[in-house]
Copies of this chain bind each other. A is one copy, B any other.
Amino acid sequence: MINTLYLPELREMLVEANSVELHEFCTALHPARTAEFMEGLTADESWAVLRHADPALRSQIFSYFEHEKQIEILEQQARSEIAQLLTELPADDRVDLLHDVNADVVNEILPLLPVEDRRNILRLRAYPEHTAGAIMTTEVAILSETLTVRQALTELSHQAEHLETIYYIYVVDSDDHLRGVVSTRQLVSAIGKPETRLSELMETELITVNVLQDREEVVDRVAQFDLLAIPVVDAERRLIGIITHDDVIDVVREEATEDAHLIAGVAPLDDSYLKVDLLTLIWKRAIWLMVLFTAGICTAFALRHYEDRLTLAIWLIWFLPLVNSSGGNTGNQSATLIITALSAGDVSLAQWRKVMLRELVMGLALGSIMATLGVIATTMIIPSSPPLAHYLVFPLTLFLVVLFGTLVGSILPLLFERMGLDPALMSNPFVAGIMDLLGITVYLNVAIWLLTVVSKVVPPG
């Protein structure tokens, strides 16, 4: 929902070029709120407003604009102004943004940046997507271990204004090798002992990530150790950046969405639903639908194979979708439970026996419940009074299919994990497809057994 409360006033101020009030508007609220009130403005208008904020605040408000407006501003406003804006943005956000800006524009802007910023951008851009390097920032508080607490605080007060976060201060040697970390909290606690050296305060047992590690591992580590930021090092343990808590939250959310999409059989998207290119989205959905369809053709061959049994008792067909959906639903429940438990670290591969035992008990219990429902459904659906054996086909099948559903749904994700594949690939539609084929086979075999063999033993009721 777009907040239109201030839009008329803002537009009037722009027409009047009312610097005083526009400056007041930019400074009065939290930058995120200011950006919210500007949502209804065009990119041009927004930039015209931002001109009235000083550079630091301007970049803060800008950082809360929606992505598309940011890109439009970067591509269309005066190159020199954009260069100034970029120097104020956090190093990691800046690189993410430039990634989506027209390459020609980027090439025009880069030479206008101070040489350090330019080198920094080029370096960060080189890290592959989904690695620690691609989400880290290079703006980090670095101090020498020989400083005292008093000196460190003074030095930090100079660095603080230019840094995204100062909650950990990293101590490196002359070759940039990471030696230790001091939290600002430790530093502040030590104010009473101002001559203590950082080398005495610093923690040397460090939790780090390698710059090429997958971002999902980074998130796991930050969550496990409850960190505010994690240092990123290269193979020689040189400090090259940090990943901060806000980026970790964003990654957690993105990964959760990606998993949900995979589970529903959509290849991961690079952008949000409304922004991703329609042709790309069609392809990312069609590819899975086609794979699932091709696998599903087996069900048609199976039914053709059992044609004689179906004509034997046409009412068997009535229950077929119920058999398939019950098997699919049970399988999906198990698969999703195991996939989420594996990805949250609640279950490990080593516990596969425990998992299978639970699902076996679960399958027996759920199967019994569903078989009871099956008896009720049969009496409702079959109109006349058929022989006893007819009443048993559907309930007995339900019991078996639900039991198989829990087993198939739990074995497959474990198997995928064992093979080093993402268990979320064992997506719901796959499990449902397997259960369709299994359901048809079980159903028609139970039917032939009950209707021909058992019927001969038990006389019609």
Contact = CB atoms under 8 A, between A and B. Distances in A.
Given A289-B369, A322-B297, A273 B346 contact: yes
A210 interface: no
Contact of A289 (B165, B261, B294, B366): B366
Interface residue tally on A, bucketed by range = 35 or more
Contacts of A154: 191-192
A260 B365 contact: no
Contact of A259 (B163, B260, B288): B260
B261 A336 contact: yes
Interface in A267-295: 272-275, 278, 281-282, 285-286, 288-290, 292-294
Given A161-B189, A290-B373, A321 B340 contact: no
A436 B285 contact: no
A456 interface: no
A156 B188 contact: yes
A328 interface: yes
Given A273-B337, A369-B289, A265 B433 contact: no
Interface stretch (A14-22, A81-89, A250-258): A250-258
Interface string A350-393: 11001100100110011001100100010011000000000000
A350 B2 CA distance: 9
Contacts of A365: 282, 286
A278 B358 contact: yes
Given A260-B260, A307-B314, A321-B296, A205 B33 contact: yes
B264 A440 contact: no
Contact of A337 (B246, B266, B354): B266
Contacts of A275: 346
Contacts of A131: none
Interface of chain A, main secondary structure: helix
B381 A263 contact: no
A457 to B, nearest CB: 27
Interface string A398-440: 0000100000000000000000000000001100110010001
A80 interface: no
A341 interface: yes
Interface stretch (A50-58, A111-119, A121-129, A217-225): A217-225
Contact of A440 (B250, B273, B321, B436): B321
21 contacts: A1-B350, A157-B191, A163-B185, A253-B344, A261-B337, A264-B333, A264-B428, A274-B358, A282-B365, A285-B330, A285-B362, A289-B330, A290-B369, A292-B325, A293-B326, A293-B373, A299-B322, A300-B318, A300-B322, A310-B314, A325-B436
In the complex, the 5 A-B pairs of residues with the closest C-beta atoms, listed nearest first: A256-B256, A264-B336, A272-B346, A273-B341, A157-B191
